[in-house]
Chain A
Amino acid sequence: MNHLMNRFLRLRRGPWENLATIVIALGVLMLLQPLSLTLYTYSFATMLLGTFMFVIVSKFPE
């Protein structure tokens, strides 16, 4: 756990980019799922967050 935290805190591109990818994928999944209208409502915000994150963290060093 500690090790994982360190990887994110060092602001390296790899782990952050993976996290952003997961957030985007989650947002798209929320947009398309048939189970909950609430999840659908918040899908746009999630996708937007993930996309912004992706654009920003892709500037981090490798």
Chain B
Amino acid sequence: MTMVTTEEEAQVRVADHASRTTSPSVTRRVRGLSDRAIAWAFIAPTILLLLAINIFPLIWTIYLSFTNYQANRPNRPITHVGTKWYQEILNSPDVWAAMQATAHFVFWTILLQTLIGFGLAYLIDRKFRGHAFWTTIILIPMMLSPAVVGNFWKFLYQPQIGLFNYIVSFFTGIPPSSFEMLGSVSLSPWSIIIVDTWMWTPYVMLICLAGLRSIPDYIYEAAEVDRASPWRQFWSITLPMALPFIMLAVLFRRIENFKMFDMVNLLTGGGPGSTTEVASITLKREAFEKWRTGYSSAFAIILFVAVFGLANIYVKALNRVKQR
């Protein structure tokens, strides 16, 4: 609160704004702290915490990304290397490959989750008996810890004893020990896609459901009067009106899966080889196994810019949905 009084000058404008929002009769009666003091006293702790735990580290990372600092050798003198790490990362075929592993994962998870999620939402919106109960059941996977989920899917994917292989062989007749979801180069990228889809389809479903429910009945009623076929109603009413919500869900999953770490780290650890080495896993290896702190700081900044850019778009989409 002392901070507030020292910055008095700068905040005169704030006070003007603050008093304008409540009626004058009220403002006159206020005793004790003024509104502007309260406003800043209420916000300051949050901002200070975020500055200390998020912004200060971010600035430090930017600084480190131009040095050859190594966290496991803190006493070595730091030399500045300019944009060397950025050039190295952005010209490295290995990192590019990690980006493509990420892209493969992001593309397929979003496609599957959107199709299944929207389909489920569309069906739930038929409001059959007990739909509320079954919706809650469907939501359970997304509440679970991704790390713990990754760990127990590892059990389901075991080649001989795992339930997943058993069910697949039950329906297809392929011997359950003849394929390894986690051990084979061609199947392991799909193993993480399956788990992520299982876990996050409910998320997309829930947001799509909100989108479908936001469409007012009278639009459908008008379409009925015009004798529009159900097919036409779907393409010209349902889909366009639910689209902002679908976009919101897709954008958020896009950001989340782009930085995916926990589930993949436990399920495949990036392997076999580097087939499922998504960007965050590469970053972890560089930062906490090879201890190339400068290099990984530059990598972190590249990932951060991608996420920050997408977050801007996400908030724009949020505001669009909010207006509904």
A–B in direct contact per CB < 8 Å = yes
Please indicate the chain B residues that have their CB under 8 angstroms from the CB of A27 in the complex. 306, 309
Q: Are B102 and A51 in contact (CB under 8 A)?
A: no
B225 contacts partner chain A, Cβ-Cβ < 8 Å: no
Please indicate the chain A residues that have their CB under 8 angstroms from the CB of B32 in the complex. none
B131 contacts partner chain A, Cβ-Cβ < 8 Å: no
Please indicate the chain B residues that have their CB under 8 angstroms from the CB of A48 in the complex. 305
- On chain B, the number of residues with a Cβ less than 8 Å from chain A's Cβ atoms is 19
Q: Pick the residue among A21, A31, A55 that contacts B99 (CB under 8 A).
A: A31
A25 contacts partner chain B, Cβ-Cβ < 8 Å: yes
Q: Are B306 and A28 in contact (CB under 8 A)?
A: yes
- Per-residue 0/1 for B98-118: is the Cβ within 8 Å of any A Cβ (1 yes, 0 no)? 011011001000000000000
Whole-angstrom CA separation of A5 from B141 in the bound complex:
49
Whole-angstrom CA separation of A28 from B99 in the bound complex:
10
Secondary structure call for the B interface: helix
Say whether, besides A32-B100, A40-B99, A44-B90, A54 and B312 are in contact (CB < 8 Å). yes
Whole-angstrom CA separation of A41 from B310 in the bound complex:
19
Q: Are B310 and A24 in contact (CB under 8 A)?
A: yes
Whole-angstrom CA separation of A60 from B102 in the bound complex:
35
Please indicate the chain B residues that have their CB under 8 angstroms from the CB of A51 in the complex. 305, 308-309, 312
Q: Pick the residue among B91, B103, B310 that contacts A33 (CB under 8 A).
A: B103
- Per-residue 0/1 for B301-324: is the Cβ within 8 Å of any A Cβ (1 yes, 0 no)? 010011011101100100000000
- Per-residue 0/1 for A24-59: is the Cβ within 8 Å of any B Cβ (1 yes, 0 no)? 110110011110010011111001101100110010
15 contacts between A and B (CB under 8 A): A17-B316, A21-B312, A24-B309, A24-B312, A25-B313, A27-B309, A32-B99, A32-B100, A32-B106, A37-B93, A40-B96, A41-B90, A41-B91, A51-B308, A51-B312
Q: 9 other contacts beyond A51-B305, A51-B308, with CB at 8 A cut-off?
A: A20-B312, A31-B306, A33-B103, A37-B91, A37-B93, A43-B90, A44-B302, A48-B305, A58-B312
Which A-B residue pairs are the 6 nearest by beta carbons?
A32-B103, A24-B309, A51-B309, A41-B90, A54-B312, A34-B100
